[in-house]
Amino acid sequence: MADAKVIPFDDDRSRSGGASRPARRRTGAGGPGGGRGDGSAAPVSALPGAQVPEPSAVSPEAGEGGREPRRDAVDAGGAPGGWERRIAGGLAFLRRRVTGDYDVDEFGYDRELTDQVLMSVLRPLADTYFRVEVKGIENIPSDGGALIVANHSGTLPLDGLMLQVAVHDNHPADRHLRLLAADLVFQLPVVNELARKAGHTLACAEDAQRLLEMGEIVGVMPEGFKGIGKPFGERYKLQRFGRGGFVSTALRAGAPIVPCSIVGAEEIYPMIGNAKTLARLLGFPYFPITPTFPWLGPLGALPLPTKWTIQFGEPIPTDGYPPEAAEDPMLMFNLTDQVREQIQHTLYKLLVQRRSVFF
């Protein structure tokens, strides 16, 4: 695998020398017994000194199929012993972080930190600020790999993060989305480490195929910088989907492709100009000028509180094609066009149904 040739998904996404995937590593002072080995945290009850009340089989607040409500809605203090359980869980979490008794996978994904910290930080933005409405979540398979292909917009890539929260909080099988990101993400300090911890990896065919074959849900936004950096006048008009590398990867892994349409992200930073000279000096693909930024300084960087809708379309199967289909340029072009047209059609339909940008 070390000699495998890395094929980027799009011309816009070049791999930099400093952004290579880290080798598989396991952080933990507890040795082989430090975690479960699947990337998730050991149960609180397994830790010395942790007194955790026995939970019921199905919470009376559970939704369809007995699925538990989100973590921020569980034991908010109403149930007897709720606060004690939350405090015990929090202390156990801190103990594992301090002692290093937790796991990360070969891509740097820290599932426990993502579940308990990163999603908790992003959830208010999705639920309260953007009021994200999720449709068609049942189109994402309950098990096995799948490739979610979505439109990209918004000047800053907040749509990718909201997509990750939508899958994490709404899928009945508690699936986790592993996003493919441009190499610029892994060149930024702090952002690089947080992206790895949240399960993001480079947008290249090699990483995507390995994740799909591991049975992960993988998210890709083929428009890349062309999507998030387009002028406001071109909102909701899909840009080119590259050379169809994501289709080739899905064919090789035999994973279904799930088209995804996101409405609401286009208006959070209405981009009316692009300071190209300044962008080149800073090493950015573009430097946006909006009605509020940079005129209002840091305040102008706040996104507008638009109302979002994320809709997952019917999956397009790929397991019925022969192995050599991944090398057929005409088939890749046709499938890429099919995915793009399905996303565009759904965008137009959602825009017709939308009453207001903010309500």
Using alpha carbons only, give the angle 256, 340, 337 rounded to the nearest 5 degrees. 85
User: Is the pLDDT assigned to residue 3 strictly greater than 90?
Assistant: no
Distances (CA, A) of 156 to 23, 226, 227, 350: 29, 12, 10, 22
Q: What is the mean pLDDT of residues 282-306?
A: 90
Look at 13-17, 109-113, 293-297, 346-350 and tell me which has the smallest mean pLDDT.
Answer: 13-17
pLDDT band with cut points at 50, 70 and 90 for residue 251: very high
DSSP string of 315-329?
-B--TTS-GGGGG-H
Handedness of CA 151, 156, 162, 163 (dihedral sign): positive
pLDDT band with cut points at 50, 70 and 90 for residue 347: very high
Rounded distance between C-alpha atoms, residue 106 and residue 118, angstroms: 19
User: Is the pLDDT assigned to residue 55 strictly greater than 70?
Assistant: no
User: What pLDDT digit, counting tens, does each position of 267-280 carry?
Assistant: 999 999 999 899 89
pLDDT band with cut points at 50, 70 and 90 for residue 24: very low
Closest to 101 (Cα-Cα) out of 36, 157, 172: 36
User: What pLDDT digit, counting tens, does each position of 76-125 carry?
Assistant: 444 556 888 888 888 888 888 888 888 889 999 999 999 999 999 999 99
The helix or strand, by DSSP H or E, that contains position 259, with its residue range, turns out to be: strand 257-263
| CB of 178 closer than 8 Å to CB of 213 | no
User: What pLDDT digit, counting tens, does each position of 201-213 carry?
Assistant: 998 889 999 999 9
Q: Catalogue all structural domains in the chain, each as residue range(s) with its CATH number.
A: 55-101 (no CATH), 104-268+303-353 (3.40.1130.10)
Q: Where are the alpha helices (DSSP H) in 178-235?
A: 191-197, 205-213, 225-228
Rounded distance between C-alpha atoms, residue 197 and residue 195, angstroms: 5
Highest mean pLDDT out of 19-33, 67-81, 173-187:
173-187
User: Is the pLDDT assigned to residue 281 strictly greater than 80?
Assistant: yes
Rounded distance between C-alpha atoms, residue 181 and residue 310, angstroms: 19
Taking each helix axis from N to C terminus, what angle separates 245-253 and 205-213, rounded to the nearest 10 degrees? 30
For residue 79, what pLDDT is reported? 53
The residues, any chain, with a CB within 8 Å of residue 49's CB and separated by 6 or more, are none
User: Is the pLDDT assigned to residue 233 strictly greater than 80?
Assistant: yes
User: Is the pLDDT assigned to residue 292 strictly greater than 60?
Assistant: yes
Rounded distance between C-alpha atoms, residue 308 and residue 287, angstroms: 24
Query: Comparing 27 with 162, which gets the higher pLDDT?
Result: 162
Query: Comparing 299 with 28, which gets the higher pLDDT?
Result: 299
Express as a percent the part of the chain with pLDDT over 90: 54
Q: What is the mean pLDDT of residues 328-355?
A: 94
User: What pLDDT digit, counting tens, does each position of 164-210 carry?
Assistant: 999 999 999 999 999 999 888 998 999 999 999 999 999 888 999 99
Q: What is the mean pLDDT of residues 318-330?
A: 89
